[in-house]
Each structure stands twice: as structure tokens, then as C-alpha cells.
Structure 1
Amino acid sequence: MPIKTVEPQRLYRQIAGQLRALMTSGEFKPGARLPAERDLAKQLGVSRPSVREALIALEVEGWVEVRTGSGVYVLDRAARSRSRVKVPEAEWGPLELIRARRVVEGEIAALAATQAKRKDMDAIAAAIQLMEDDSQRGVAPLAGDRAFHTAIAQACGNVVLLETVQTFWGARRGPLFERLGDHFESVPSWRKAIGEHQQVLTAIRDHDPEAARAAMQQHMDKSHARFSASWRRANQS
């Protein structure tokens, strides 16, 4: 048998693998509620965001059910066999992605504040308005959100930065992030994000790179907090 290349596995997949093995062995039986995130994180020696990403992956693949206000429950084998969704091996963890975006897009916003032209500011403002329009109709404002971050990167005049942001957004459309959004994105959360976007635009219009960086980083921090909230607060903020 030829030796195969060993590839590093994403942390949330390692956690999901351990929990899956415990369910398969009967340690966690069908119908049982899994330990709380904080307890799993302590037992596994990892962060709570990594545990949350693992639980979302298991939910997408049909191993568990997240019941808002109650907990995470093991599904029976029949339910798992009906699940046809498979999380791609290369998919980034959504909370880890937000942390990466904080670093990269904070600097992109700062650069845009020094280079943005009138047309760029108009494009950013138009994206925020699109978010406003969609949220008022009860539609998830993802198109406007993507246009906002893309327009800021476009203002930098660097195709590598632009394509990096586009890659981030491609990952934003993956099954893990979409399922996390199902639990935690709501009209109130969209309204908060729109306000945070407006602060970024204000700093770019003022040609203040430090304020633009800070506003973008704060937006990412608050996004991370919204997706890390207690399951009891899902769809409430």
C-alpha cells in the first residue's frame, strides 16, 4: 500500500470526529443531550468557538439537532442516514473566518480611507442602502453586505486584496456559515450590522485610516459575538 500524504485537519473537524466517535460507540446515545459548550471546551482543551463550529458541522451532517433554548441532542441512526449533506473537508470554520477577516479587512478599510475616490464612496453607500432595503422587506441583506465589503476592497486598487475579500465571501456561503446564520441572524442583528457598516463608511469619507480600521475591527468583533451568543438568544439579537 503506497504511503499517502498526511494533511493537517481543521480543529473543528477533529472535535467533530471525537464527538462522532462517542456517539457511534454509544457514549452519547440517541436522544441524549450533549454537555454544554463550556464543558465540552474544558474537557477537550479547546475554545468554545471551536466547539460551536464542530457542533454546527455535526448538525449539518445530521448527527445532532440544536434546539434553541434547550441544548444539542443526539439524533438516531435513521435520521443520520437520511442526511445527504457533507461538510467539505476544506471548509473554514465560520468563527475562525471572522477572526481572519478582522485582521485583513481592518487593514483594507484603513487603506481605503486613504485612497477611496468619490465613486468608491458612492458604491459603499449604495451597498448599505441595498442592505437597508432588503432588511426592511425581511430579506437577509447578504447581497448588500457582500457589495459593501467588495466596494471597500475595490477602493484600494489592489486586485489581490479584492480577490481575497471575494474568497472570504465564497467561504461565507458554505454550509457551516449558512447554518450558523440560520440560528443567529435576524432582522435586529441585520440592523446592528448596518449601523456598524455606516461607521466604517463615515471614517472612509473622513479619510481617517485609524478610525476606519477600528470601525471595521469592531464590526467583526460584534459579528463574532453575535454568532457566539448563547443558543437561548438565537434569533433575538
Structure 2
Amino acid sequence: MKITGNKLYQRVAASITAAIEAGRWSPGTRLPGERDLAEEYKVSRPTIREAMIALEMKGWIEARHGSGLYVTKREHGSGQREDSLNFDVGAFDLTEARILFEGEAVALAAVSISDEQLAEIDQLLIEMGADDSNEPSVMDADRRFHLAIADATGNEAVRSVIEYLWDLRTRSPLAANMFARAKRGGITPRVEEHRPIVAALRARDPHAARSAMRKHLRGVVDDLLEATELEALERTRSEIDARRDSVARRLKIGSV
């Protein structure tokens, strides 16, 4: 099934809500698995995950522990569907944009950064690794680290764009929800991933700086994939355990 519309995850989510309203999946029905939906809608599994999270946030579906995703029993007015799924950008799209913008920004910074700015970035790196247990402090240092690099470009437009992308992490409900899920999975900024960026800046090497930043941000994508995959795996694992217990009880009855 091909889909058209606005953002890709929104088009998938809107198509699924239309199918729910048309009766394809009635309230209480379990939705097909992620892989099956990805094949049906001709999109990636991360896009399906973003669509499912958006639908879950708006109450169209619910996750049942050890079972999967089910259509909820509440009434859905067809007139609200388009507005209710307007969640702006998801974490995958946001991080992809950061790879593009911050990759080029750090390359520009590498040829214009001052010693004072390098010293500031060094200090932020220390703050980031000072207390792993203080998650808000680490997150704040991470944000200031990246914005300090944007400052070092000497280009206010570049700095404004990168600050806007960072603000979207909390302003976009879908992105905020996905990053929160990653946080619950124990995923936080890792200081060692930032060290090669600083080393490239100190060497005034724009190519190495760009490569290091892109590698770091691709790691963020991998972390998000792992976090959302772990939730799905946990549901599957719980379902398998429940089935195993059921079979064991049946076998026990038969042996009496």
C-alpha cells in the first residue's frame, strides 16, 4: 500500500487510523507486527516505530505487556484524525537533520575556533563525564557542548538553526517521547563519543571533525533504535514466557 501526505510517519499513522475507522482493525484487535506493517506500507521499521508511538500517545492503540499493540476501545471521531496526528518531527528525522547541520558546522568551527572556545569545550567535556549519575546535569552539558561548537563557527544563522534543532528534542511531543524512552532504557550521552570531536577541533582538521560528529550522531540513531527495539523485544519475550508457562501447566495436567 503506497501512502501520500505530510511527514512519513504521520502518513503511516493516518493510514492506520483510517483503516481502524473503516473497520479493518476493530477495537480490541491486535495490530500486525512491525515487520509486517513495514512491508505493507513500504517504509522502514524506524518509521513504523514512530507511527506506533504517535498512535499510542494519542490513544488510538495501547501496548499490552507481554502481548503487543492493540486498538483501543474508545470512540475516535474521524474529524480529529489529521490534527491529532500532527506531532511534528520524530527523533529519527531530528537526528538525521543534526547529522547534516552539525556535521558541516563542526567542520566550519574547526577552521575558525579560538583557543578560548576550545578551552570552554574542554570544560564542558569534563562536566559531561564528571557525574554519570546526575542525568540532568549530563544532558545540559551535552547541549551546551554542541551549542558551543555552533558558536565557534562565527555564524549566527548556523548557531540559530542548531539551537532550534536541539529545542525540538523537547518541543516536539513525538521526539520528546522517543528520547524519554531511550532515557528509561539507560541511554545517556557518552563522553567518550565526544572526545574525537574535540581532538579534531584541536587539530583544526575540518574533515576529521565532520567525520567524528557524524559518527557520534549516527550512534545516537543506533541508541534510539536499540531503545525502541528493546521495548518490542520485551513484549515479545514476556509473551513467549507466558506461552511457555501455559504449555508447562498443560503438560503437568496431562502427567497427573
Are positions 1:128 and 2:125 aligned together?
yes
Q: What is the CA–CA distance in structure 2 between the aligned matches of 1:218 and 1:69, rounded to whole Å?
A: 35
Among 167, 183, 186, which residue is 1:185 paired with?
183
Quickly say closer, same or farther: Cα 1:79–1:121, change in 2 above 3 A: farther
The alignment status of 1:33 with 2:30, answered yes or no, reads yes
CA contact (8 A) 1:131 1:145 kept: yes
2:91–2:174 CA contact under 8 A, matched in 1? yes
Amino acid at match of 2:175: F
With structure 2 as the length reference, what TM-score do the two structures score? Answer: 0.76
1:76 matched to 2:73? The reply is yes
Matched, 1:47 2:44: yes
Residues 4-30 of structure 1, C-alpha deviations (whole Å, 9 max, x = no match): xxxx52121111111112223332233
1:119 paired residue number: 116
Can you give the 5+ residue segments of structure 1 that lack an aligned partner in the other structure? 1-7, 81-85
> Structure 1 residues 188, 197: closer, same or farther in 2, change over 3 A?
farther
Please report how far the alpha carbon of residue 204 of structure 1 lies from its aligned counterpart in structure 2 after TM superposition. Answer: 1.0
After superposition, the Cα gap between the structure-2 partners of 1:230 and 1:169, relative to the gap in structure 1 and judged at 3 Å, is closer
**What pairs up with 1:70-219 in 2 under 5 angstroms?**
70-77=67-74, 89=86, 91-133=88-130, 135-139=132-136, 141-173=138-170, 174-186=172-184, 188-191=186-189, 193-219=190-216
Greater Cα offset, 145-154 or 20-29: 20-29
C-alpha distance 66-220 of structure 1, shift in aligned 2 (>3 A): farther
SS, match of residue 72 in structure 1: strand
Larger radius of gyration: 2
Counterpart among 21, 24, 40 of residue 21 in structure 2: 24
- Count of residue pairs the alignment pairs up: 223
Structure 2, unaligned runs of 5 or more: 78-82, 234-256
Structure 1 or 2: larger helix share?
Answer: 2
Q: 1:20 to 1:152 in 2, by over 3 A?
A: same
Deviation at 1:131, TM superposition (A): 3.0
8 Å contact kept, 2:169–2:179: no
